[in-house]
Amino acid sequence: MKVVFASTPEQEEKIRELIQKMYTHIFPLYFPDEDIMEFEQMNVLHTSTRHFEYFGTLKEAYQVIVSLQTISAILELSKLEDSYEQIFNKNVEIIQGFGLFFPFVFSNFYQGKMMKNDLFSMYTKAANELLI
């Protein structure tokens, strides 16, 4: 008999937060808004109830969380280095193994960082908000 522990609602929420971070902090560093809109339409990193069944145990949910955090940490670096490519690819394989659609390779971001030089995006969260 094997005992497994189900993922918690907090873990599922953390996964959603990390995916939102990809859209609001990471993708705007590399891609124009038009491309990010396409990613949404293509369901890049889209989660549904079915996905949470794939990573329904504590271990699996942690694997997804750590992989998303690792990918984010690499892509947030001011300078991407080739030495991170293997780690990036391994973590992409992990999230894809759990059914998340992430159609990128390391070079997509490496080249994107070189071309993108403005940080204004409708996807980026505002630094402050004005309430009227």
Q: Cα dist. 51→15, 48, 58 in Å? A: 11, 5, 14
Confidence at residue 120, expressed as pLDDT on a 0 to 100 scale: 58
- Are 108 and 44 spatial neighbours (Cβ–Cβ below 8 Å)? no
Element (H, E) at 16: helix 9-21
Once rounded to an integer, what is the mean pLDDT over residues 113-122?
55
Confidence at residue 17, expressed as pLDDT on a 0 to 100 scale: 96
Query: What's the pLDDT tens digit per position in 60-107?
Result: 889 999 999 999 999 999 888 999 999 999 999 999 998 899 999 999
Q: What is the amino acid identity at position 67?
A: S
Q: Given pLDDT bands bounded at 50, 70 and 90, which one contains residue 110?
A: confident
Nearest to 103 by CA among 21, 27, 45: 45
Domain boundaries, the chain: 9-113
- Are 94 and 64 spatial neighbours (Cβ–Cβ below 8 Å)? yes
Q: Cα dist. 125→12, 21, 89, 121 in Å? A: 22, 10, 27, 9
